Structure 1
């Protein structure tokens, strides 16, 4: 793989992984996840799970690693959505 491909891959992985941080921090600080779409995060968590399976099938540790991080972050948002919507 070319150095440019590696740079693009790392940049893409970093963008994907950090994209969840602002949403996660906002939900945690405000203790409110009402603006989060439950369906969207269910689809997102499912998508990352499938990317991990794909990474395992093609034996690509960068695909697996970055998607595990994204899965954990998006699953945390999903869990907070469930937790804060159950409060009343």
Structure 2
């Protein structure tokens, strides 16, 4: 599989980045409209934030700008969800 054409590798990278970046938007939209984030796991998003910080650092250190940009955008989006959860969540979970 190491002989895959560069264009195919790039297509998968772009599609993966777009899927990752857009996957959090519906959750942000739902919480923003309903003002209820009680069903969102605070702990899961805390771990997800840590993961995206690591991926963003990895991308920057390896000078892989597609990885850096996609994960930085995801970091912003999951941070928004985390803040919305703190604001509208109630309870610990």
Give the TM-score taking structure 2 as reference length.
0.89
Kindly indicate whether residue 32 of structure 2 is the aligned counterpart of residue 18 of structure 1: no
Distance of 2:24 and 2:13 partners within structure 1: 18
Kindly indicate whether residue 49 of structure 2 is the aligned counterpart of residue 37 of structure 1: no
Choose from 38, 55, 60 the match for 1:56.
Answer: 60
Structure whose CA Rg is larger: 2
State how many pairs are aligned.
Answer: 86
Q: Give how far 1:85 is off.
A: 3.1
**By percentage of residues, which structure has more helix?**
1
Runs of 4+ in 1 over 3 A off after TM superposition: none
Provide the alpha-carbon RMSD of the alignment: 1.1
Q: Are the counterparts in 1 of residues 21 and 74 from structure 2 also a CA contact under 8 Å?
A: yes
Q: Tell me the equivalent position of 1:4.
A: 8
Give the TM-score taking structure 1 as reference length.
0.94
SS in 2 for 1:82: helix
